[in-house]
Amino acid sequence: MSLHTYEYLDGNAAAGELSKIFAIDITSAEGQCAHCGAKKRFAESHLYMQGPGVVARCAACEHVLLRLVSARQLVFLDLRGMTYLCLTSPVQEPS
């Protein structure tokens, strides 16, 4: 059995792929890991892009936070590794 060590990028590398499905930049959004409870900006996650999709892992415990796979005209997004992802609304509310 061999162990593979893969290089990862930070969560900012997911901006292009995620902008295809979100109208806002989620790299500055705060999320919480469902495994260890760490609260961090999505940009701090460890991003792996060696497979057929994108996998984001928690910077604290390496638990999978997000999986994103594009196939034909479909996009599969799995966020079950996060208890929440807090996004800033792009729409300014009247004062």
Ranges 8-22, 44-58, 77-91: which has the least confidence? 8-22
* Residue 32: closest CA among 60, 10, 5: 60
pTM of the predicted structure, to 2 decimals: 0.77
Q: Which helix (H) or strand (E) holds 15?
A: helix 15-19
Q: How far is CA 37 from the centre of its chain?
A: 15
Query: Per-residue pLDDT averaged across 45-69, rounded?
Result: 94
Say what the pLDDT of residue 10 is. 83
The DSSP call for residue 10 is: E
Domain segments of the chain: what residues? 9-86
pLDDT at 1 over 60: no
